[in-house]
Amino acid sequence: MFGLEYKDSRMLILVAILVALAPFMLNPFPEGSGMAQFNAGYPDLMQRFVIFGIFAIGFNILFGLTGYLSFGHAAFLGVGSYAAMWMMKLLTMNVVPGIIFSVLVAGVFSLAVGWISLRRSGIYFSILTLAFAQMSYSLAYSVLTPITGGETGLQPKVTDPRILDGSLAEGTIAKANFFGLEMGSSFELQLGSWLFTFNAGYYLAAVVMLIAFYISIRIFRSPFGLMLRAVKSNQQRLNYTGLNTKPYTLAAFVISGMYAGLAGGLMVAMDTQVGAERMFWTASGEVVLMTILGGVGTLIGPVLGASAIKYMENILSKINSDILHQWFAFLPDGLEEFVITLIYPFIGKGWHLTLGLIFMAVVIFLPGGLVEGGQRIANLFKRKMPGKDARDNKS
């Protein structure tokens, strides 16, 4: 299908189904029940799953294939966001031009950064990209305030020209839309005590994510992708055979920068505001975490990692001590207190601790990330249940 091998098209279809049914599957617990807080099926979070999925897929094209560890990818995301926002302010609130423009601008920016940074490799490359990202962040905060809005960031205003849209009716606010379909609008389905939300913005982002995923599969399976893998395994040898690797690595860098820009543009399409903090280097670190956690160099890994981290960020951080007391109410009082004191540092505001520990465990014991973990578990069962594929292990 679409020029893919059987195994890849099966994975693409599976991902498509998962993404399409996400509003059902992420809401397994009925409203009002004690477990309802584990539901992730609300639009805001689902949008983040797919958008950060795109970001991580793009990062993986660079890091997973060529082995170049960039610590400055958030800069491209931020640049894409600003570009999309300016399209919305100047041209139209329709998200399409904004998203296209964000990809283009991020592409040009990453071409410039990549052209310089890729002169060096290893840790020097990481530091160079980090330096560029921090420079963009500082400039966005200070000197470039007329373009970036500085500390307040950018939002669409009533006074913006928006030459394609015409003037707004009195008292209305400009909302991001896709040819009239508002990004914020959703259709709610009540089934018994379950409430499912189907959000327009989510489905737009999901379709974009599927396209991005498809392109990434094609890149992984192409001669170009093979060349990138050769760069990772032995760049020197490639050079000795008379090949110039620079065009290949630069192309990979620009492609992954464009993915980041696309994610940034989509972020603005979902939530029409942008601030410089999304370019800070911790944001670059986050996408590294996502990719490693899911599985570097695998196709599905980055998407899994992005979802896992965003799920933890939103769900784990919401649990507080009251909820813990509810859960462990069945234990005797002394034991209950003890268990809660043990667990408390890892949840709520301390979710970063859990994230750090999981991340370390993954790097130490499971360098292939969740995907490798899934494959190992699958291999355990394979002896007993032949025919079960390793890639089925995703949720």
Q: How many whole angstroms separate alpha carbon 322 and alpha carbon 118?
A: 51
By beta-carbon proximity to another protein, the closer residue of 142 and 379 is: 142
Single residue of 12, 22, 62, 69 touching another protein by CB under 8 A: 69
Considering only residues 142 to 161 of the shown chain, the ones binding another protein according to CB under 8 A are 142-144
Q: How many whole angstroms separate alpha carbon 287 and alpha carbon 50?
A: 13
By beta-carbon proximity to another protein, the closer residue of 36 and 139 is: 139
The reply to whether 108 sits near another protein by the rule CB under 8 A is no
Single residue of 18, 131, 168, 215 touching another protein by CB under 8 A: 131
The torsion region of residue 187 among left (phi > 0), alpha (psi -120 to 50) and beta comes to beta
The reply to whether 141 sits near another protein by the rule CB under 8 A is yes
By beta-carbon proximity to another protein, the closer residue of 211 and 360 is: 360
By beta-carbon proximity to another protein, the closer residue of 28 and 356 is: 356
Coil, strand, or helix at residue 13?
helix
The reply to whether 355 sits near another protein by the rule CB under 8 A is yes
DSSP 42-53: SHHHHHHHHHHH
Q: How many whole angstroms separate alpha carbon 252 and alpha carbon 241?
A: 21
Q: How many whole angstroms separate alpha carbon 21 and alpha carbon 131?
A: 41
Considering only residues 330 to 349 of the shown chain, the ones binding another protein according to CB under 8 A are 345, 349
Q: How many whole angstroms separate alpha carbon 231 and alpha carbon 137?
A: 30
Please identify which residue in the block is written with the tokens 């809660």: 340
Helix (H) or strand (E) holding 216: helix 200-221
Min. distance of Cβ 40 from another protein in angstroms?
A: 23
The reply to whether 128 sits near another protein by the rule CB under 8 A is yes
The reply to whether 130 sits near another protein by the rule CB under 8 A is yes
By beta-carbon proximity to another protein, the closer residue of 92 and 291 is: 291
Binding piece for another protein, criterion CB under 8 A, among 33-41, 46-54, 223-231, 356-364: 356-364
Single residue of 205, 288, 306, 319 touching another protein by CB under 8 A: 288
Single residue of 364, 383, 384, 385 touching another protein by CB under 8 A: 364
Nearest CA among 85, 70, 251 for reference residue 155: 85
The reply to whether 112 sits near another protein by the rule CB under 8 A is no
DSSP 179-214: TTEETT-EEEEEETTEEEEEEHHHHHHHHHHHHHHH
Single residue of 5, 7, 119, 239 touching another protein by CB under 8 A: 119
The reply to whether 70 sits near another protein by the rule CB under 8 A is no
The reply to whether 321 sits near another protein by the rule CB under 8 A is no
Min. distance of Cβ 135 from another protein in angstroms?
A: 4
The reply to whether 353 sits near another protein by the rule CB under 8 A is yes
Report how far apart, in Å, the C-alpha atoms of 151 and of each of 134, 157, 269, 277 are: 15, 17, 20, 9
H-type helices in 241-297, by residue range? 246-270, 281-294
DSSP 57-71: HHHHHHHHHH----S
Single residue of 158, 356, 388, 392 touching another protein by CB under 8 A: 356
Coil, strand, or helix at residue 386?
coil
> What is the binding site for another protein (CB under 8 A)?
67, 69, 116, 119-124, 126-128, 130-132, 134-135, 138-139, 141-144, 236, 281-282, 285, 288, 292, 345, 349-350, 352-353, 355-357, 359-360, 363-364, 367
